[in-house]
Structure 1
Amino acid sequence: MNPSDRNGPRADERPEGRPTDLPVLLPFAISKNRPPARLRPVHGWLLCGLAVVALPAWAQGAGAGAALSPLEVVIKWAPLLLTGFAFNVAISLMAMAIGTLAGIGLGLTMLAEGRVLRRIAWSITQVFRNVPWLVLLFFVMFLVPFQVTVFGLRVPLPDWVKATFGFSLPVMANVAEIVRGAVRSVPNTQWEAAESLAFTRRQTMWRIILPQCAKRMLPPWMNVYALIAMATVQASIVGVTEMLTLTAQVHAAEGGRPELFAPLYGFALLCFFLYCYPIDRLTAGLERRFETR
């Protein structure tokens, strides 16, 4: 078919008196022999700019959608969890120091000559030794006020201070029993020899008996410390921000994923094990070294 026929009759062939046909736009046809259009430099820079803007947003969206593995989550939050563990260690050390000083005095009171003092000290020791530590902790948390006034100055008592005092009570009772048992284990001949040298009872206790009791008291004292270090996680129940509390917060921050439960709490378990196991081994070594026959 002739292309001129598709566009209608030419002007010289149209009959007179017939209205002129409207022009028709034919479809655009690409010639096979025509070279492809080249991308202008302006278009290339525009696409590069869009890529620079879009790629970071796409990467951020992809990173937000991809969940971290349990190991990556533990590594990510390890510094914060170790800070909480250091707080557990600090609470255990302070509770052990307070309880040891009070326990030595209570244990020596159980060895006093006065019968009334011995009975009172024995009763206090038995109460705090045979009451669950968590009950003592709740007792102290709700009984001790949030602040005290000393000479007109208000001194706040945060939860971790009250928790430290609560843990020191069972330490005091156990140390008192350790002191009493160590003094009783010294042979009576030591007392008789000191009496023959005109030593008073106080001089005999502080210069002869207690120095011999130090090596007897050290291993069980270290066992008590290992127990109190592991028991400090109970402070999370009363609102103290320590390792177990931070572990629960991290688990919630990661969306509460069930697969993170074991790794996060396993990391806490590993920290306490690595801290308490050397104490156990050292205690066993001291027991063998200081073994009395």
Structure 2
Amino acid sequence: MRRHCPMPCSAVSSFSIHQPRWRNAVFVAPYLLFFSTLLVFPLIWGIWLSFHKADMFSSGRFVGIDNYVRLFRDAVFIQSIWNTFYFVLLTVPALALLGLFLALALNRNTRSAAVFRTLFFASSVLSVTIVTLIWRIVFIPQFGLLATIFGWFGAQAPAALSDPDLAMIAIAIATVWWCLGLPMMLFLSALQQIPGDIYEAAALDNASRWRTLTAITLPSIKRTFILVVIIQIVLQFQLFGQALLMTRGGPNNVTRPIVLYIYEVTFRRWDLGLGAAASEVLFILILLAAMGQYLVTRRKGEVA
């Protein structure tokens, strides 16, 4: 029986699934609009402002790289860069390793494991204001929780938030407690994607737990580990609320991160050009740190 074409043959011959269909752009347009408005335009605008002497009321005049020269001559800004890197070194390894440890310990289909997963993740939904209030109470000299614990042993707790050597460590402890839930959940998700047949084969071969961990579990979640480290680098470089609410950048600027410096320069000194230049420096530092970590880890993985 001869089949008839339900539409004109010329239309069928002219249609191809490989041809571009521009009406599909309608579905992408909302995302592109928000992406351009909230990311691309502010990035370009910030770069433009960094080359101008600007305030909140006018864009000012073009000054070239003068804002960057002033920035790197400012000892407070140089110290804020070191403070930010120090904070990242304190928090990122701790978050990655503790998150992995908790995920391995709580990767169980039991009620107690579910309760502990909920408890450890619960701190992640708190606001920075609540987190800093809790930890300020912990670190209050003489009357805080830390002072009470030290008092049980007849010792005196250090004034962590007013000690230049301990203030950033205290902020890092509060941040790790606050942010630990996300790495834990990412590692749990990765662990649950590993096929159980592999572990059954390892058990038949009488592989020890350590051998199973190093030969099966860790290689299987290597990409997740890289993802967690990169996410935490990006997040912890943006330290702001904890430093502002717990120490206000003190004592002696030892806890003043780059974002707090940007906030003070822009919204207290009304120097938008200098603040924009500092923002671009922060963007480059985050980009270099994240890409460097990714490339180093990827190269080690290829060699292995």
TM-score range, shorter chain: 0.5 to 0.7
Find out whether 1:182 has 2:190 as its counterpart.
yes
Find out whether 1:125 has 2:120 as its counterpart.
yes
**Aligned residue for 2:60?**
none
Find out whether 1:82 has 2:68 as its counterpart.
no
**CA offset digits 1:115-168 (Å, max 9, x no partner):** 244123211233123223443233222333336436635433124333211111
- For the residue of structure 1 that corresponds to 2:158, the secondary structure is strand
The one-letter code sitting in structure 1 at the alignment partner of 2:183 is V
Structure 2 Cα separation of the partners of residues 257 and 137 of structure 1:
26
Higher relative contact order by CA 8 Å / sep ≥ 6: 1 or 2?
Answer: 2
**Aligned residue for 1:157?**
160
**Aligned residue for 2:99?**
103
Which blocks of at least 5 consecutive residues in structure 2 are unaligned? 1-62, 162-166, 250-255
**TM-score w.r.t. length of structure 2:** 0.58
Q: Identical aligned pairs, as a percentage?
A: 12
Find out whether 1:231 has 2:239 as its counterpart.
yes
Task: Report if the CA contact (8 A) 2:67-2:274 is conserved.
Answer: no
Task: Report if the CA contact (8 A) 1:128-1:173 is conserved.
Answer: yes
**Aligned residue for 1:275?**
285
Structure 2 Cα separation of the partners of residues 285 and 72 of structure 1:
28
- For the residue of structure 1 that corresponds to 2:239, the secondary structure is helix
**Aligned residue for 2:67?**
71
Higher alpha-carbon Rg: 1
Change (3 A) 1:257 1:208: closer
Find out whether 1:211 has 2:211 as its counterpart.
no
Task: Report if the CA contact (8 A) 1:182-1:217 is conserved.
Answer: no
The alpha carbon displacement at 1:169 in A equals 1.9
The alpha carbon displacement at 1:215 in A equals 3.4
Structure 2 Cα separation of the partners of residues 72 and 280 of structure 1:
23
Change (3 A) 1:282 1:187: farther
| Greater CA drift, 163-172 or 69-78 | 69-78
RMSD: 3.5
Find out whether 1:198 has 2:206 as its counterpart.
yes
The one-letter code sitting in structure 2 at the alignment partner of 1:185 is Q
Q: Give the count of matched residue pairs.
A: 217
| Greater CA drift, 86-95 or 210-219 | 210-219
Structure 2 Cα separation of the partners of residues 88 and 165 of structure 1:
15
Task: Report if the CA contact (8 A) 1:92-1:228 is conserved.
Answer: yes
**TM-score w.r.t. length of structure 1:** 0.60
- For the residue of structure 2 that corresponds to 1:167, the secondary structure is helix
